[in-house]
Chain A
Amino acid sequence: AQSVSQHNHHVILSEAASLELGCNYSYGGTVNLFWYVQYPGQHLQLLLKYFSGDPLVKGIKGFEAEFIKSKFSFNLRKPSVQWSDTAEYFCAVRGMDSNYQLIWGAGTKLIIKP
């Protein structure tokens, strides 16, 4: 069965610090990978996605993620965070045989101190 693991439930950083949020998945086949963000009181928004090709994916708001197939990982990075990045971040995986069902990590709450 597919599963997604996000290593940290809570992360607290100061502005301008670098960010890396871990995401590992278990699935033997080809996958689509996603990072979604949920700002307080708002809906889930897509940050970036990986379907195929270049494993380094750039998303909105300066975020990027790298797909490392050998490690079953898709870590999210940002070189310099801002206070406005305070939100909950979710990693999600879709196996190519799962017909659009997303399997989600438990989320990481990111708090940026001004």
Chain B
Amino acid sequence: DAGVTQSPTHLIKTRGQQVTLRCSPKSGHDTVSWYQQALGQGPQFIFQYYEEEERQRGNFPDRFSGHQFPNYSSELNVNALLLGDSALYLCASSLRSRGRTGNTIYFGEGSWLTVV
């Protein structure tokens, strides 16, 4: 059991639609990061949320947005879906400690998004 839960596990959307993916971090963790993993590739960092704010962002367009709630859970929203957005979307949680980065990151099982 990874401790990080994501929903839904699989979904199919049509080009132009919007999608929302959800993540609950591991108990005790306060930081959530989202990654996109296309077939045959390693995960690519989308953004990270801490204290309900986006703290870092990777090289993804504004169609990708997110939110973190007071209970540390998070949503990833993608607007105007493109075929190329088809991928596994991974949520990772960690505990942010001031002045230290040596914390392990735990991953959820991911949400498989297929855009047709």
Contacts and interface: CB of A to CB of B under 8 A. Distances in A.
Contacts of B92: 102
Given A43-B90, A101-B33, 19 more contacts: A6-B42, A32-B102, A43-B110, A44-B90, A44-B107, A46-B104, A46-B105, A46-B106, A49-B104, A90-B42, A94-B101, A98-B101, A99-B55, A100-B101, A100-B105, A101-B56, A101-B58, A102-B105, A106-B41
Interface residues of A, number: 28
B65 to A, nearest CB: 18
A43 B109 contact: yes
Interface string A32-67: 101010000011111001011000000000000000
Contacts of A101: 33, 45, 48, 56, 58
A30 to B, nearest CB: 9
Given A43-B109, A46-B104, A99-B55, A105 B45 contact: no
Interface of B: 2, 4, 31, 33, 35, 40-45, 48, 55-56, 58, 90, 92, 94, 96, 101-110
